[in-house]
A and B are shown apart, each in its own frame.
Chain A
Amino acid sequence: MTDTSSAPVAPILLRRQGLHAATISDYLAACVLVAATSLLCEQVRPYLSPINMVMAYLLAVVLAAVRLGLKPAILAAFLGVLAFDFFFVPPRFSLRTSDTEYLITFLALFIVGIVISSLVTRGREGAEALRLRELQTSSLYHLSRDLAAAAGRPALLATVVKNIEESMHAQLAVFLPEDDRLEVSTSSRGLELSSADHEIALWSYRSRRSAGHGTDSYASSSLLFIPLKALAQTLGVLCIKLEWLYEPDTEQIRRLVDAYATQISMALERVRLSRQAQQAEIHQARESLERALLNSISHDLRTPLATITGVLGAVLEEVECLNPVKTRELLETAIEEAGRLNRFVGNLLDMTRLEAGAVQLRLEPCDVQDLIGCALAPLEKQLFGRKVVVRLPPDLPLVTLDPVLMIQVLVNLIENAHKYSAPEKEIEIFSSLSETGLSLRIADRGPGVPEAELGRVFDKFYRIPVPEGVSGTGLGLSICKGIVEAHGGSIGAQNRAGGGLEMILTVPITATSQECVDVY
């Protein structure tokens, strides 16, 4: 909120109180005003008849009413009559009047003076009241606007303190329940709360009634406690210390403070509900993920098991009549499925370890070329002579990584590149060193992934909807992500210009890993 937008309500209130309780200086000013009028009239006396001077005194009364308030204006009217009589009505310098007609003039001057004073004052009061109401409304509006914008309880409380401090020139505190106890969640700087104040706050919280100054309960306190009520429960207590609460205009202020309290309650309730909704959403998301996980696990575990069981059953049952070729075929299927099962169990274990935070990096200085070599070695059979281009900068230093885990990442990425692209297209592996760390890019010329799906490929059990017969656990990339992130790095996927998918992983390298090796 901008500072200009909330004109303080407090000074207006104070000024308004000043209207009712005119000070001695106001009365003195009224006297001076009358004296000045008399002096002015003395100057023009040779040219005007005395009766015209009544107008000058009336003007003084109006001025007094506008500037000084009702009572000084009445004083001005009274003094004006006396001064007029004394100075200008013959015989001069005496209160006696030779012409009785002047008595009517005196009376008219006095009555008109009083009537004008009260009219002007009432008009002024009305304008002030309007202005005050407008300020209250706008301060409430600003508060509610800022509250609506505040995300989360801390921001909300900070907004409350700032707004009310600015518009009321008051110190305040907000009590909120924390684990069965009512604690001060936020307070103005310099506001000290005693244990007695805590007690009043607790009473107000429990009874859902205002307490403290100007109320029926704990009236001796200098603070005002207002419960923050939601529909069914009390959310906390607003505590305000108003320096000028002793003045008679408390009713007005109480209404304003109550309005503040309502706003705060609503905002607190909103935050509470949205947090609840968020939690429910998270809970639901987790549940559906767990369901998907269980479905996937049971499917991925059972399918190969079903094949293996079927094959073994068939071989066992018909051991005599199966021809050797058929048997061999069956057994090969079984062993393939067993391998798949083993990979899946391995992936599940890795994922579980990563998620449980049970993976401890065994950092070693690693030769990037060696890492790539180690990743290619177990894939040699699958790749079956497929062209894999490795491009490394010649002066790549040793980098500190967990070699085993990083090789696993590379194996997964290279295997994916292999599975999802035509075998005659080459797979490219690039590496580069930058300020952000070591980057490795594994690129294929496959179909790529739809842009909208790119972010999801690292999700658990996400399978790229592509070629038939491509089977995966849907865990490989999430494991990669887990490992890279455990290294403090990041991994991403992007489609290549000219087709294909590119996986980019970046891991930070520490200063020690770049140190020169001088022992040969």
Chain B
Amino acid sequence: MSTETGRENLPRILVVDDEVAIQRFLKTALDNGSYSLHQAADGHVALAAAAAVRPDVILLDLGLPDIDGVEVITRIREWSQVPIIVISVRERENDKVRAFDAGADDYLTKPFGIGELQARIKVALKRSLQQVPEPVFRIAELEVDLPRRRVTVQGKEVPLTPTEYELLRLLVSHAGKVLTHSMILKQIWGIGYLEQPHVLRVNISNLRRKIEADASRPRYILTEPGVGYRLKVDD
């Protein structure tokens, strides 16, 4: 673990990866004056650093030499809500679902472009800094007014069923973050519906038909195949 001092005001990023080349590349790419970068090469060091440094974002590789990355997420989530972005070569949906269910905020598959990573970091930081959600969520032509329970597209109110509204509200409150199928099912329908994924599919499909211009090319509610859904936010 290495700590850089004198940059207290900058957002702190903890990079957890045992690959020296990746650490070097991320240090070069991110240590550009916008962030204060901290590094850890295994799970134990990462857990200690998460407590000591109190990072604003954690970039976490899943394949760590000592403990599995998902375990690291679980342990951090026991006491902290710091945004965790997984960076991993594991591209199977199973791994993604496990990471998200454990509490990861985002998942980037290696190899990734630095631009993509920076965008994800920005979204995560925004979310971590803004503790109280905005009462009105806006993206492109969609507006969700939470206090008034009002959804409009292009200024026109869209009538939603209570379930559809709840679903949208859940996505809005986690805007930009992937919500796994089981998370959504548990939240909206309760634990008894975990094995009834078609309920979710049908409601998402209906919701899209109401708020998306072209349901075949959704702009707001994005599907993470095999994992879950994510409400798009402005980059």
Contact = CB atoms under 8 A, between A and B. Distances in A.
A17 B225 CA distance: 85
Interface string A376-410: 11001000000000101000001000111001000
Interface in A244-267: none
Interface string B166-206: 00000000000000000000000100010011110111111
Interface residues of B, number: 28
B33 interface: no
Contact of A364 (B113, B197, B203): B197
A404 B225 contact: yes
Contact of A370 (B161, B163, B223): B223
A377 B216 contact: no
A372 interface: yes
A362 B205 contact: no
A124 B189 CA distance: 99
A367 B205 CA distance: 7
Interface string B23-35: 0000000000000
Contacts of B198: 365, 398, 515, 517
Contacts of A398: 198, 201-202
A376 B201 contact: no
A98 B233 CA distance: 146
B133 to A, nearest CB: 26
Contact of B197 (A338, A365, A370, A372): A365
A519 B216 contact: no
Contacts of B93: 362, 404
Interface string A71-104: 0000000000000000000000000000000000
B226 interface: yes
B155 interface: no
Contacts of B205: 367, 369-370
B146 interface: no
Interface string A278-307: 000000000000000000000000000000
A457 interface: no
Contacts of B189: 519
B102 interface: no
A370 B223 CA distance: 7
A519 B201 contact: no
A407 B225 contact: yes
A432 interface: no
B197 A373 contact: no
B196 to A, nearest CB: 7
B111 interface: yes
A510 to B, nearest CB: 13
B123 interface: no
B223 A335 contact: no
A365 B222 contact: no
A516 B66 CA distance: 48
Contacts of A338: 111
B215 interface: yes
A365 B225 contact: no
B217 interface: yes
A230 interface: no
Nearest to B205: A367
A404 B226 CA distance: 6
A362 B197 CA distance: 13
B215 to A, nearest CB: 6
Interface centre among B113, B199, B216 (most CB of A within 10 A): B216
The 9 A-B residue pairs whose C-beta atoms are closest, nearest first, are A365-B198, A404-B226, A390-B216, A404-B225, A517-B202, A367-B205, A519-B199, A374-B223, A403-B225
Interface of B: 91, 93-94, 111, 113, 161, 163, 189, 193, 196-199, 201-206, 208, 215-218, 222-223, 225-226
29 contacts: A335-B113, A362-B226, A364-B197, A365-B198, A365-B201, A367-B201, A367-B202, A370-B201, A370-B205, A372-B216, A373-B216, A373-B217, A373-B218, A377-B217, A390-B216, A398-B198, A402-B226, A403-B225, A403-B226, A404-B226, A515-B198, A517-B198, A517-B199, A517-B202, A519-B193, A520-B163, A520-B202, A520-B203, A520-B206
Interface of A: 335, 338, 342, 346, 362, 364-367, 369-370, 372-374, 376-377, 380, 390, 392, 398, 402-404, 407, 515, 517, 519-520
